[in-house]
């Protein structure tokens, strides 16, 4: 069985002082064994260096919410993979739906970011997912298939062993709605089948596919028990230590069944 991967995307939340408080509370709460479960936090850029110091010696790993495709240059306001590595990041989220929606990121740019992350020693969490309009038109499979194929373009089989794919239905992000376990499983199964067609079933069986979209303590276990859901990309619920801990605990329990 693949381990579960629980990642907390803090988005535009928590200044340095608030970040220290949240991480301290999270460390105190994580007292149970984390068998077959990996935990990642993705604070804002301004808190990454502090977070790295605070999580040293714990099971918590560090990720960033975004990156640019160059190591340096005249790109005001951007952050390079080299910079992320220098503050201790292991992971980076690329192609989050909010980046696509508000900053007009395309599948092609997400693909470039994923490839740049990999050659820079970062593990990309590649996000895909349909809008409410697309789901209501019954074209979820088509939209997600195009995104997966485009975002994975030119990635090798060995690259895929380092990649995490996050399926996040856009209509469920920050809305309080979430896909049912069955709906989520169907799309996760589709993604795994696509990876099998693009590479091999051996690769498909190894790749981690997370669910993201209003994951909460009260729905986490049923989602994580689905055979093709390998974890969660958590938004709002990761901003409180007790909620995030409950989701992590659900991941541990789902791996024991």
Q: Which residues are catalytic?
A: 96, 168
Distance CA 188, CA 166 (A): 9
Token reading at 100: 């696509």
- 176 Cβ contact partners less than 8 Å away, ≥ 6 residues apart: 214
Measure CA 250 to chain center. Answer: 17
Look up tokens 């276990």; give the residue: 221
Distance CA 236, CA 176 (A): 10
Token reading at 68: 């640019």
Token reading at 192: 């795994």
Greatest alpha-carbon pair distance for the chain in Å reads: 51
Over the Cα atoms of the chain, what is R_g?
Answer: 17
Of 95, 224, 216, 86, residue with least CA distance to 163: 95
Q: In 172-247, where do the E strands start and end? A: 208-211, 231-234
């Amino acid at each position: 069985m693949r381990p579960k991967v629980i990642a907390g995307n803090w988005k535009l939340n928590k200044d340095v002082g608030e970040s220290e408080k949240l991480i301290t509370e999270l460390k105190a709460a994580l007292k149970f064994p984390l068998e077959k479960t990996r935990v990642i936090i993705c604070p804002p850029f301004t808190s990454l260096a502090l977070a790295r110091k605070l999580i040293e010696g714990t099971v918590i790993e560090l990720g960033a919410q975004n990156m640019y495709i160059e190591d340096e240059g005249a790109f005001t306001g951007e952050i390079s993979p080299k910079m992320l590595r220098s503050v201790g990041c292991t992971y980076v989220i690329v192609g989050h739906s909010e980046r696509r929606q508000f900053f007009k990121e395309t599948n092609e740019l997400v693909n470039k970011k994923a490839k740049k992350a990999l050659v820079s020693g970062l593990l990309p969490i590649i996000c895909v997912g349909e809008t409410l309009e697309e789901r209501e038109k019954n074209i979820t499979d088509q939209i997600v298939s195009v995104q997966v194929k485009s975002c994975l373009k030119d990635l090798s089989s060995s690259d895929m062993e380092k990649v995490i794919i996050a399926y996040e239905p856009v209509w469920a992000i920050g809305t309080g709605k979430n896909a049912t376990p069955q709906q989520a499983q169907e799309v996760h199964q589709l993604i795994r089948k696509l990876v099998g067609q693009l590479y091999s079933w051996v690769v498909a069986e190894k790749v981690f596919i997370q669910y993201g979209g209003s994951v909460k303590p009260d729905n986490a276990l049923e989602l994580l028990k689905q055979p093709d859901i390998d974890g969660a990309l958590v938004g709002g619920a990761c901003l409180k230590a007790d909620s995030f801990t409950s989701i992590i605990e659900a991941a541990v329990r789902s791996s024991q069944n």
